[in-house]
Every structure is written in structure tokens, then in C-alpha cells.
Amino acid sequence: MRQPADWLIQAANAVGTAPQPFGYSDRDSLPSAPAVYFVEADGFLLYVGSTANVRVRWRSHHRAKELAAAGRIWVIETADYARWEKVLIRRLSPRFNGKTVRDTPLTAEHVRRVRAELESIRSRMSRLFPNDPAFIIGTGIKS
């Protein structure tokens, strides 16, 4: 598993619960629990949401078509999901929160631009914190 991105570490520390990763294609295995969830592509945060039941929510999510290119959904189970969603959107400023829902999925060009932006962030962070494993995105971690 890759090292979590900084935004995920911030979210887990704020809520006080470890996040669980799910591949976008594994949406049927999402928990039937109240949670705040995060959609990411290559470590770049795209969307933060919350719900009383993550599995049911993702069966008919209004951004499902748009986020089909996403790599992973992270779930932090918490009974106080609505409050944490607001706090984390304000702190993390995800790309798609507060934006108009697109009728079409993300294009390959959009994914390429997001990846290039993420690579630039990775490069800067590794230069700023060369020995800090929390900032070495893309390396393995032990659980």
C-alpha cells in the first residue's frame, strides 16, 4: 500500500480514526456505516462527502459517473459524520466540492493534469522533507 497523502493524514488525525481504503471498482464492499469519505486519484483529493450508510450512498452517488476515473475511496467511520464533512471540506478544499456536477466522466486529459500537479507536489514535498516518511508519497507503509 502507498504512503497516505498529507490530506488523509490530516483527516485521520482530526477525526481520530484510521481510514479504510477501497478501490473505486470495489464499491460494493464499502461499509454499511455512518462515515465521512474521500475520493482520490493518485493521492490527489477530489471529493469529500458524508453519509449515514456509505454503501447505499455510493450505489446512487450524484458524482459516480464523474468520479469513475478515481483510484480509491477512503472511509473514516464516525457517528458525527455531518460535522466532520463540513470541517474537512473547509480544511482540505477538495477539487470537486462546491462545483457543478459534470455530465461526463473525467477525461484522460483532466486525469493527466491532476497527475502532473500531484507529481509537482510530491517533488516539492520530498525536497522540503527529505527524511520524513509522512511526506514520501508512493512508498510502502507498515500497518
Q: Which residues pair with 50 in a beta bridge?
A: 36
Q: By C-alpha distance, which of 36, 20, 38, 46 is closest to 84?
A: 36
Q: Helices 6-15 and 81-92, interaxial angle, to 10°?
A: 150
Is the torsion defined by CA of 126, 18, 87, 112 positive or negative? positive
pLDDT tens track for 38-55: 988 777 888 899 999 998
Mean pLDDT in residue range 55-72: 76
Is the torsion defined by CA of 19, 21, 26, 29 positive or negative? negative
pLDDT tens track for 94-125: 888 876 655 555 667 777 777 777 777 767 77
Question: What integer pLDDT is reported at residue 4 of this predicted model?
Answer: 55
Q: Which domains does the chain have, with CATH numbers?
A: 6-133 (3.40.1440.10)
Question: What integer pLDDT is reported at residue 26 of this predicted model?
Answer: 80
